[in-house]
Chain A
Amino acid sequence: MINPIKKIFALLEYDFSKAGKFAKLGPLFDATKTFFFLPSSRNKLGPFIRDHLDLKRYMSFVIISLLPVLFFGIYNTGYQSGLARGETLDFWTSFLSGAWVVMPIIIVSYGVGFFWEILFAAIRRHPISEGFLVTGLLFPLTLPPTIPLWQVAMGISFGVVIGKEIFGGTGRNILNPALTARAFVFFSYPVTMSGNVWVAGADAVDGITSATALAVNAEGGSSLFSTLSNQGFSLSNLFFGFVPGSIGETSALCCLIGAVFLMVTRIGNFRIILGGIAGLVITAILFYFLPGTRGTWADAGPLYHLCAGGFLFGISFMATDPVSAPGTDPGRWIFGFLIGFLTVILRVANPAFAEGVMLAILFMNVFAPLLDHLVMKHRISKRIPNV
């Protein structure tokens, strides 16, 4: 029996072919068809057997790794908005009210992003790359739930077009497109990206403060930990994620689950993740022993630095983007380590930015080719020349 979906594709095939009336939309047809039916043409060139791993599976695994933070993010958005109104919502109410806020953001991100992807694919006559599936989901997860949807559209447009397509598309971009999109929104619309924007539905209630943990500083000589704790940012809340923040970043636990999945399946490079955590922990410990920092984030120590803010989200899902990270193993360790290092430096030493991980990763993206270059020069010097 022929699969009915296969039948539909067979019927439509001609219209989307080069001679058909929708020839321009050929890439869209291909992308949809290959989503349902994995293409596998016979090998014409050696080797004549090929591994089963392809880019579709590669990118789907990143999506799978994002599911815990996605679902928790949806739940927490609803939960926090309930808290802001003074109610404690049950699981399903939280989840549904969260979905009501988060889903439109994701839909706009995917919809507008796909528009650009299809446009470029149609003009350049190349297939739609699976990489966008990841970008389109990563970007919304870095946004506050209160973001206006038109800004989501602006951000993803900038990320896809300026961050990726003008360099030639997937595989040729220098910066991570999702972070480029977030940086665009962050610097263009600072009012909607910082301050009291982290709780959906909070506007309706007066007198709610809803900054993120990283914006908290202790005053009057009290310790940072007790101040954080008083405002609901206990270490366990930060670890499990029951705090206000960007949609996907609040739960350190869910980020770690995703990170472990990526490392075990070797889709995300463990060197970047472990190097990053090492960089953050070591730098945080150094600042901890610096005198005269009591009450500030310099005094926070490694655990708070790990669990607060978007570091684990960034290092697990953004920094591991293979295209914008270095392509050599030593380069990956250094890249990860310096992201951790710069994140703490930015959080502690730069009063303009409460959060540092986005800029740390983008900054290191720029340096990734240089790291590769240095590693390659070193490796070439170790080889017996053969020219």
Chain B
Amino acid sequence: MNHMEKISLSKGFTLKLSGMPDNSVIRLPRPATVGVSALDIPHIRAKLLVKEKDRVNTGTPLFCDKRDTSIQYVSPGTGTVKKILFGRRRRLLEVVITLEGMDDFVQFDPVSSKDLSQIPSQKLADQLKQGGLWQALRQLPARDTADSAAAPPLIIVCLNGNDIFSPHPGLVLQDKIRQFEFGLSVLKRFSDRVVVAARKNSLALLAPAKHLITLQVPDIFPAWDPGTILYHIKKEAKENAAWYIGAEWLVRMAQFLETGRYPIDTMVTVTRGNDKKPHMITRQGSPVHLLAGNYPPGSLITTGQLNGRIKDPDAHLGFFENTLNIIPDAPGDEMFGFIRPGLNKPTVSKAFLSSLVDRKVLMDCTMHGEERACINCSYCEKICPVDLMPSFIMKALVSDDIEEALELGLLDCCRCGLCSFTCPSKIELARILSLGMDAHHKDTQG
């Protein structure tokens, strides 16, 4: 019997948001197009391997990473490359593919659980890189794609996704416990220490996988984030370079190795206000408008209310993106808004009547104020799940003192976004810290 450890969290996001998805599962119809986004792949310098009108199979590499060309990003469908979208400075945004009726798969040699112990780990990594699934393994603190040449001190398997309403791991792993176990044994080839972490309120539905879970985290966002988990379990500095992977991607990695074919299905949640939408199984890279359905004008679609990206309705879901949050616009300017009692104004402070009422809250996608200078109020410190003092780190970064920022723990930042959420001066703390970490990562890559 596996012993389940617990961590506790004294800080984090305490509001109860409305919009939790329902635990039923539906399968969406086949989309007309799929896309592979380069925007949710961290730090990538993409190099295209196809051009428009090329025919591609399911599993054909579309682009690779210039920094390590063996890491490939493959097509989740069979068809022709419809268009390749670039952003400013010719940065690759998306490769869009028009799907054909049937899938032709790029076939790899299957790896059975018996073979697993025989294959050298480097060869295993190479196969995963060619197959388009190595990218699922990422390395802290920069969250870059894992470096297969390094032996990680530990690998964290995160059962819960980035958002509060990411797909329920109990549904993601439904009927896939065997593949999940196989995936864990793949990870064991790379590190002796594998930590499997789940949210407390996910455990009931996770009963069939309970023997595999080694760490229980509280139900406070972002307790299930790999950076937060690592901060709370690490005992020495060398553990900082831990790898992590999400449950869905670990299962897909196992499916790929077992069958030799690129697994195309992904589970997605769409959350909106007081809706309770079911979990949806769809093809990786499905169009956003297909999933989002109808929504009020002015809404924002994001891939994580606190730590995701804004998603254009015409874009396609990225490899790592498995939740879409439709956040409504504000009702409009409000006269003397700053002094109203605020029974319906959610806050983590105590400055609105809403803080006295314990109920589900509906947030809109606006700023509720204007940017001002930092007044040293410490609201950011009070909410930071990894005990940082974001305002002090922000000041160090703004004055270009990276040494001071690092000393204050910049690289422990888990990019949860809560500091920006709470800041009464509306300073983009999370953004500033994030840019600081990225710049430092770029520097150290040489």
Contact = CB atoms under 8 A, between A and B. Distances in A.
Interface of A: 3, 5-6, 34-58, 60-61, 127, 129-131, 169-172, 264-267, 269, 322-323, 325, 327-329, 372, 376, 379-380, 383-387
23 contacts: A39-B369, A39-B370, A40-B369, A45-B420, A46-B302, A47-B430, A48-B308, A48-B327, A49-B421, A50-B367, A50-B421, A52-B354, A52-B368, A53-B351, A61-B351, A127-B372, A130-B372, A171-B375, A264-B350, A384-B234, A386-B406, A387-B406, A387-B411
Interface stretch (B130-138, B203-211, B235-243): B235-243
Contacts of A327: 376, 378, 381, 389, 391-392
A43 B339 CA distance: 22
A151 to B, nearest CB: 29
Contacts, number: 218
B187 to A, nearest CB: 23
Nearest to B230: A386
B412 A127 contact: no
Contacts of B325: 48
B333 A39 contact: yes
A224 to B, nearest CB: 39
A291 B215 CA distance: 62
A7 to B, nearest CB: 13
B240 A386 contact: yes
B75 to A, nearest CB: 28
Candidate in A35, A42, A380 with the most chain B CB atoms within 10 angstroms: A42
A385 B366 contact: no
Given A57-B351, A327-B391, 20 more contacts: A40-B367, A40-B368, A41-B370, A42-B300, A43-B365, A47-B420, A48-B365, A49-B363, A50-B369, A51-B421, A51-B424, A52-B352, A53-B351, A56-B369, A57-B369, A57-B424, A266-B349, A328-B389, A384-B235, A386-B411
B334 interface: yes
Interface stretch (B56-64, B117-125, B340-348): B340-348
B368 A386 contact: no
Candidate in A6, A127, A329, A385 with the most chain B CB atoms within 10 angstroms: A385
A149 to B, nearest CB: 29
A55 B369 contact: yes
Contact of B408 (A49, A269, A329, A380): A380
A56 B307 contact: no
Contact of B369 (A38, A264, A384): A38
A323 B424 contact: no
B110 interface: no
A267 B411 CA distance: 30
Contact of B370 (A34, A267, A383): A34
B418 to A, nearest CB: 7
Interface in B160-195: none
A132 B406 CA distance: 35
Given A50-B421, A58-B351, A386-B412, A127 B370 contact: yes
Interface of B: 17, 141, 234-237, 240, 298, 300, 302, 304-310, 325, 327, 329-330, 333-339, 342, 345-352, 354, 363-370, 372-379, 381, 387, 389, 391-392, 406-412, 417-418, 420-426, 428, 430-431
A53 B333 contact: no
Contact of A325 (B351, B376, B392): B376
A51 B329 CA distance: 14
Candidate in B240, B325, B369, B421 with the most chain A CB atoms within 10 angstroms: B369
B375 A170 contact: yes
A322 B376 contact: yes
Candidate in B325, B350, B351, B411 with the most chain A CB atoms within 10 angstroms: B351
A49 B365 contact: yes
A48 B421 CA distance: 8
Given A54-B370, A54-B426, A49 B305 contact: yes
A54 B409 contact: no
Nearest to A36: B335
A169 B298 CA distance: 36
A171 B373 contact: yes
A47 B335 contact: no
A155 B352 CA distance: 35
Contacts of A131: 375
Contacts of A385: 237, 407
Nearest to A130: B372
A42 B372 contact: no
A386 B338 contact: no
Contact of B373 (A5, A44, A129, A386): A129
B236 A46 contact: no
Nearest 7 A-B pairs (CB), nearest first?
A54-B369, A171-B373, A38-B337, A47-B417, A49-B363, A56-B338, A52-B345
A60 B339 contact: yes
A60 B431 CA distance: 28
A266 B261 CA distance: 57
B411 A170 contact: no
Contacts of B351: 53, 57-58, 61, 265-267
A9 to B, nearest CB: 10
A3 B372 contact: no
Contact of B352 (A53, A171, A376, A387): A53
B306 A48 contact: yes
Nearest to B337: A38
Given A46-B309, A264-B350, A38 B411 contact: no
A266 B376 contact: no
Contact of B342 (A52, A58, A376): A52
Contact of A48 (B300, B334, B409, B411): B300
Contacts of A52: 342, 345-347, 352, 354, 368
Contacts of B349: 51, 53, 265-266
Contacts of A56: 338, 369
A322 B235 contact: no
A383 B377 CA distance: 22
B413 to A, nearest CB: 9
A40 B378 contact: no
Contact of A376 (B141, B392, B410, B428): B392
